[in-house]
Structure 1
Amino acid sequence: MNKLLNRNKMLIILFGIIILIVFIGFSMTDRSSTTKAEQFTGDTVAASQSIIGAPVQFVSNIFSNVTGMFGAATENEALRAQLEMMPQMYADIERLEAENEKLRDALDVSAKRKYNTVNSRVISRSQDQWLNNFTIDKGENDGIEEGMAVMTPEGLIGTVKRVNGNSSFVEMITTSVSQNNLSVEIHNGDDTIYGAIDRYDSEKGLLVIDNIQNTATVEAGDPVFTSGLTGDFPEGLNVGEVVQVENDEYGLSQNAFIQLFSDPSEVDVVFVLERDPDSQVD
């Protein structure tokens, strides 16, 4: 029995080999058409590949879509963050443009002065002393000394009170006028009226020149400059303009109220005037 089975197996194997050889022979011959068996085999393989490949392609498309969705979400998040930053970017651009304009004004004004100047920036300002003092980023190492006048591009703003190596403490003229006895001159047409700043009227936000003779003509709009007659300030620095004139309480003299050219509430870029006569340019 076993011999019969073994013989049948051998016959089946030989028959299979013969069929394989026949197929190989057909495939190697130069023919313009395929046999029915080849067509059937090719169609069967193609159908099988389609059946097997369809789920694979479907799953692949799903993964591609999911990956694309995650990529789109990440890109959208980045774009949204950029859009949210746009207002800040525009604000920074406007701030830098305004700062550059202030720096150009300061350089232009300092270039016209007959005194050497040290350009600097305000780096510290106390909230409770906002209209009294501030700190600048230049000090003794930059040639700054106590008593030097400090200006904005518009006009006089203060005086150096304390000097460190790389910074200085500036007292604004709104608080230092009475201590420094700031001497000024008012220009009314061709006439010059001399006086001294007595105080700063905090309620009105104005400097006050007192003891002006009643015979002197002082009017709103008259410009006011330092006279250089007393104190540490050189002559001819812009201070402000007259906005109001009134008699004193006894009617014996006049008081003139001066609006500063510089805005004490907004001080950013300043320059310090060297008072040494040797630094003056003819």
Structure 2
Amino acid sequence: MKGTFVIISAILLLTLSFLFFTNITAFEKTYSRTKSYLADGIGPALSVIGAPVRSISYVFENYIDLIDVKRTNAELKKKLESMEFENQKIPELIKENERLKGLLQLVEERPKEFIAARVTGEDVMNWFKCIIIDKGRNAGVREKMPVITPAGVVGQAVEINKWHSKVMIINDTNSAVDAYVTGKHTRGIVEGTGHTILKLKYVQKNDDAEVGDKLITSGKDGIYPKGFALGIIISINKNVPGLFADIDVMPHNNFKKLDEVLVVKKQ
């Protein structure tokens, strides 16, 4: 009886073990298939959900990069503008240096003949075309003294006080300068028009004068010494009534941009 019980117990134990391991294998197979189905079904959905997240991340990263690029570009633009501003000043400094060199050369060559002065402004309260210089009676400036630059004639001193002087420039309508055409015997009077262009008056139509000819002071008007540059003839019109040609002259000086001048002392 006891042996029979043992045999039956062993058979039951083997049967249960077989069923247990069989169920585990089946479960694993079922789990594997389920996992595969879920992966196939949910995978695309996860990809769709993940795409916007990745896109947002990509856009954000690119936005940060774009901000950095814009900041860098702004800094570079600022530096470029600063460099351009500095470069623009260089030609002006060169021109100023050339002007000062020209004035210094004249003063050094003939120190007793010139008084160096700076232009401090314009006289807007007068009908005359005048500039104001920072030298007056104390520096030796007197009325009717010529005022020049290395480029040519500016005008003459007309009002003098202790520290400053007014200079009537040659484009004033009251200005008249006796002049020669350089290298020729043609003579005329350079008169102001109130504008940039001057007029060469009293030159007959058959006199020797051409566009491009240069004019200098003749020294015969009692104010300007002989040989100072005045301007260049830019047009000649002979188809006008009367004996004289209509001649336009461009002065050598730009009277709106005068900074330094020389007053010519009377000998």
TM-score category, normalised to shorter length: 0.5 to 0.7
Distance 1:246 1:91 in 2: 43
Deviating more after overlay: 211-220 vs 118-127 = 118-127
Quote the offset at 1:181 in angstroms.
3.2
Contact 1:115–1:273, Cα closer than 8 Å, also in 2: no
1:196 is aligned, of 166, 189, 201, to 189
Deviations 1:166-218 (A, max 9, x none): 2111111111xx5353211112xx4221111244262xx31111221222121
Output the amino acid matched with 1:152.
T
Q: For residue 256 of structure 1, what is the aligned residue in structure 2?
A: 247
Instruction: Give the superposition deviation at 1:252.
Output: 2.1
C-alpha separation between the residues in 2 aligned to 1:127 and 1:253? Answer: 34
Code of the aligned partner of 1:184 = A
1:224 aligns with 2:219: no
Counterpart residue number, 1:102: 99
Whichever residue aligns with residue 151 of structure 1, its letter is I
Q: Which residue of 1 aligns with 2:200?
A: 209
Matched, 1:148 2:141: no
Question: Matched residue of 2:215: which SS?
Answer: strand
* CA shift digits 1:57-78 (9 cap, x unpaired): xxxxxxxxxxxxxxxxxxxxxx
Q: What aligned pairs does 1:32-111 form with structure 2 within 5 A after superposition? A: 90=86, 94=90, 96=93, 98-111=95-108
**SS state at 1:245 partner:** strand
Name the counterpart of 1:31.
none
User: What's the TM-score once normalised by structure 1's chain length?
Assistant: 0.58
- For the 8 Å contact 1:131–1:264, the answer to whether it is kept is no
Distance 1:123 1:199 in 2: 22
SS at match of 1:234: coil
CA contact (8 A) 2:171 2:191 kept: no
Aligned-partner SS, 1:213: coil
Query: Which residue of 159, 176, 180 maps to 1:181?
Result: 176
For residues 258 and 115 of structure 1, what CA distance do their matches in structure 2 show?
A: 31
Counterpart Cα distance in 1 of 2:85 and 2:203: 52
Amino acid at match of 1:272: V
Q: What TM-score, normalized by structure 2, do the two folds share?
A: 0.61
1:139 equivalenced with 2:132 (yes/no) = no
Using the alignment, how far apart are the partners of 2:101 and 2:82 within structure 1? 27
1:251-272, Cα deviation, whole Å (9 max, x unpaired)? 4221221110111121111111
Q: CA separation in 1, counterparts of 2:184 and 2:88? A: 47
Q: Give the number of aligned pairs.
A: 189
Q: For the pair shown, which has the larger CA radius of gyration, 1 or 2? A: 2
Give the counterpart letter for 1:165 in structure 2. K
Residue from 234, 242, 260 that aligns with 1:269: 260
Counterpart of 1:182 in 2: which secondary structure? strand
* 1:164 partnered with 2:168: no
Structure 2 counterpart of 1:208, which letter? Answer: K
After TM superposition, the structure 1 stretch with the greater mean CA deviation from structure 2, 129-138 or 192-201, is 129-138
Where do 5+ consecutive residues of structure 1 fail to align?
1-82, 277-282
Check 1:114–1:98 CA distance in 2 against 1; reply closer, same or farther (3 A cut): closer
1:235 maps to 2:226:
yes
Call closer, same or farther: CA 1:88–1:209 in 2, change over 3 Å.
same
Kept after mapping to 2: 8 A contact 1:206/1:260: yes
SS at the partner of 1:146? coil
CA distance in 2, matches of 1:126, 1:163: 13
1:125 equivalent in alignment to 2:116: no
Q: Structure 1 CA distance, aligned partners of 2:142 and 2:181?
A: 28
- Runs of 5+ unmatched residues, structure 2: 1-78
Aligned partners of 1:258 and 1:242: how far apart in 2?
Answer: 4
Are the structure 2 counterparts of residues 169 and 199 from structure 1 closer, same or farther at C-alpha, using a change threshold of 3 Å?
closer
Tell me how far 1:100 sits from its aligned partner: 3.1
Task: Find the residue that maps to 2:155 and give its secondary structure.
Answer: strand
Query: 1:56 maps to what in 2?
Result: none
